[in-house]
Amino acid sequence: MKLEEEVVRRQRERARITAWLLGAFVVLLFFITIAKTGINW
């Protein structure tokens, strides 16, 4: 495997994981806000 291909593969993999983590963080922040404001569903 060429070096450039490996660089691109790793960058893509990291970008995908970062996107998932950011998404999870947004969801967590939403639920934290709900819990802190004491809203009952």
Residue choice 13, 19, 22, 23 for contact with another protein (CB under 8 A): 13
Does the footprint of another protein cover residue 35 (CB under 8 A)? yes
Does the footprint of another protein cover residue 7 (CB under 8 A)? yes
Does the footprint of another protein cover residue 22 (CB under 8 A)? no
Pairwise CA distance, residues 30 & 41, whole Å: 14
CA distances from 27 to 12, 16, 18, 39 (A): 23, 17, 14, 16
Binding site for another protein (CB under 8 A): 1-3, 6-7, 10-11, 13-14, 17, 28, 31-32, 34-36
